[in-house]
Amino acid sequence: KILILDFGSQVTQLIARRVREAQVYCEIHPCDVSDAFVRDFAPKGIILSGSHGSTYEDHELRAPQAVWDLGVPVLGICYGMQTMAAQLGGKVEWSDHREFGYAEVRVRGHTRLFDGIEDFRTGEGHGMLKVWMSHGDKVTELPPGFKLMASTPSCTIAGMADEARGYYAVQFHPEVTHTVQGKAMLTRFVREICGCRGDWVMGDYITEAVQKIREQVGDEEVILGLSGGVDSSVAAALIHRAIGDQLTCVFVDHGLLRLHEGDMVMDMFAGKLHAKVIRVDASELFLGKLAGVTDPEKKRKIIGGLFVDVFKAEAEKLKASGQGHKGATFLAQGTIYPDVIESGGAKSKKAVTIKSHHNVGGLPEQLGLKLLEPLRELFKDEVRELGVALGLPHDMVYRHPFPGPGLGVRILGEVKKEYADLLRRADAIFIEELRSTLDADSGKSWYDLTSQAFAVFLPVKSVGVMGDGRTYDYVVALRAVQTSDFMTADWAELPYALLKKVSSRIINEVRGINRVTYDVSSKPPATIEWE
């Protein structure tokens, strides 16, 4: 296994991700762990991360001496390179200013790390790498035993190596995707230079994570707000695997879920996994408070606020009932790594802002609960992989995102039960057809080819004709988008035949809707949701 020592870079987690992609197990620990910790960890290799800031104190951060005494390969990245140089007798010029940027690095000499890895060759035949460089502090003199491995015009020593000891260092960031060969370099380091086998899979992560959860929780009890979304579902399945009945899931049904969604969540977690799940049917409460409210942000606030109230009441009931000996002392959340970054970086002391759709902000403090966040280190696709490894159904784990306020923001204007019931059925038909229609070229379903797809209820009536009679019914808009980050999105060019089928099924099967439109707006300037 590989030990990653974190000097506080925003992208340290990406190093871990790249190492996991190379199918090698790794753990991130703070750079100030003890020598004994490093020895006990018994790594096959160590990676020293970059650092976030440019404050003078950071220059004082050093890798524990044991890193250099263990006799295993070490890779220094950015700040990690500087500390390597400083600790092993080279010279470093510190600068207060640091910036990231694209750079082309010239490969020097032959090293095991770079051999055969290059992006292009210059006219003179020099091997070049396209990298994401951190400019600022520089190594100005190689430590004894080191040779030059890479350089740029502005940074003479952009990479250095002491191959006899297996020490390598680069000034740029191989962990970010902008460094084209970064993944190849990290794979080379952990597999070939450190000699890790590369047979680690997500299944192994479960073993480690289960053990950690057991250690953290001990014999205490945990509650978790289960929404049916990917993150809370995977967190629930993982924690349940670890501590079984010490976990209680609270599933708040606000009446604005998709067709049969509540039953499916119960069936999966209570039925198949035999987890303790409390289903709170709060639809009347939610719909009651939403009556007459048309403003989207007001609707969001009401739904979010009620969610907290209901969850809190359940948590307090559980605490009071002391269903074990003392009731729940932990609140589990499906926080994933991108949430951690969004809320101010992994190093931030500030508590992670709870995802808007979990809406339990402030609850841990109010209820005196400790946080349990077993997915904090994982990226979305890794969470999905973990979900599959835990036995969750593929369809659940690879489903499109669904907003916390649910159909509350997909029914334009005032939310009514009648509207929600119509929308649920129209939406279910759309999703069913997307899932069952395959694209001939890729062989994938249109559900998998789109990032998010749903129906929107428009509370306006239009005239239609059915049989001999005239109808005067509601309109539904279909929305399907393709996006990688949900910040920008294109409307999906669904096949006409698919749209035709969906439209005719909705109009024939959902009495009350007589017109279907397809939304052909991209984001920006439109948003994905209609409210």
Catalytic site residues? 78, 173, 175
Nearer to ligand XMP, 145 or 413 (CB): 413
> 432 φ, ψ to 5°?
-60, -45
**Shortest distance, position 214 Cβ to ligand XMP, whole Å:** 31
Q: Is 51 annotated as a binding residue?
A: no
Nearer to ligand XMP, 330 or 530 (CB): 530
Q: Is 230 annotated as a binding residue?
A: yes
> 45 φ, ψ to 5°?
-170, 160
- 320-324 long-range Cβ contacts below 8 angstroms, 24+ apart: 323/221, 323/248, 324/219, 324/220, 324/221, 324/246
Contact in structure between 29 and 37 (CB atoms under 8 Å): yes
Q: Give alpha helix (H) positions in 111-229.
A: 182-187, 202-217
Select from 486, 493, 504, 508 the one that contacts ligand XMP (CB under 6 A): 486
Distances (CA, A) of 259 to 58, 206, 255, 263, 474: 54, 32, 10, 9, 19
DSSP letter string, 265-280? HHIIIIIIS--EEEEE
Q: Is 510 annotated as a binding residue?
A: no
Q: Rounded CA gap, 302 and 292, in Å?
A: 12
Q: Rounded CA gap, 479 and 526, in Å?
A: 12
**Shortest distance, position 529 Cβ to ligand XMP, whole Å:** 3
User: Is 490 a binder of ligand XMP (CB under 6 A)?
Assistant: no
User: Is 515 a binder of ligand XMP (CB under 6 A)?
Assistant: no
**Shortest distance, position 455 Cβ to ligand XMP, whole Å:** 13
> 444 φ, ψ to 5°?
-95, 155
Distances (CA, A) of 143 to 67, 74, 86, 121: 16, 14, 8, 29
Nearer to ligand XMP, 277 or 528 (CB): 528
Residue 503 forms beta bridges with which residues? none
Q: Is 232 annotated as a binding residue?
A: yes
User: Is 387 a binder of ligand XMP (CB under 6 A)?
Assistant: no
**Shortest distance, position 502 Cβ to ligand XMP, whole Å:** 20
Nearer to ligand XMP, 73 or 229 (CB): 229
Q: Is 233 annotated as a binding residue?
A: yes
Q: Rounded CA gap, 334 and 240, in Å?
A: 13
Contact in structure between 155 and 114 (CB atoms under 8 Å): no
**Shortest distance, position 339 Cβ to ligand XMP, whole Å:** 11
Q: Rounded CA gap, 120 and 106, in Å?
A: 10
Count of residues in contact with ligand XMP, rule CB under 6 A: 13
**Shortest distance, position 495 Cβ to ligand XMP, whole Å:** 23
Q: Is 229 annotated as a binding residue?
A: yes
User: Is 258 a binder of ligand XMP (CB under 6 A)?
Assistant: no
User: Is 145 a binder of ligand XMP (CB under 6 A)?
Assistant: no
Q: Rounded CA gap, 198 and 168, in Å?
A: 20
Nearer to ligand XMP, 27 or 529 (CB): 529
User: Is 53 a binder of ligand XMP (CB under 6 A)?
Assistant: no
User: Is 257 a binder of ligand XMP (CB under 6 A)?
Assistant: no
Q: Is 227 annotated as a binding residue?
A: yes
Select from 246, 452, 503, 514 the one that contacts ligand XMP (CB under 6 A): 452
Nearer to ligand XMP, 154 or 356 (CB): 356
**Shortest distance, position 357 Cβ to ligand XMP, whole Å:** 3
User: Is 300 a binder of ligand XMP (CB under 6 A)?
Assistant: yes
Nearer to ligand XMP, 232 or 452 (CB): 452
E strand or H helix at 375: none
Q: 346-385: which residues touch ligand XMP (CB under 6 A)? A: 356-357
User: Is 512 a binder of ligand XMP (CB under 6 A)?
Assistant: no
| Assigned token pair, 281 | 């049917």
Contact in structure between 111 and 124 (CB atoms under 8 Å): no
Select from 405, 419, 447, 449 the one that contacts ligand XMP (CB under 6 A): 405
Nearest C-alpha neighbor of 75 from the set 47, 112, 113: 47
Q: Rounded CA gap, 14 and 118, in Å?
A: 21
**Shortest distance, position 531 Cβ to ligand XMP, whole Å:** 8
Select from 327, 404, 420, 429 the one that contacts ligand XMP (CB under 6 A): 404
Q: Which residue ranges make up the annotated binding site for ATP? A: 227-233
List residues binding ligand XMP (CB under 6 A).
300, 356-357, 401, 403-405, 452, 486, 523, 527-529
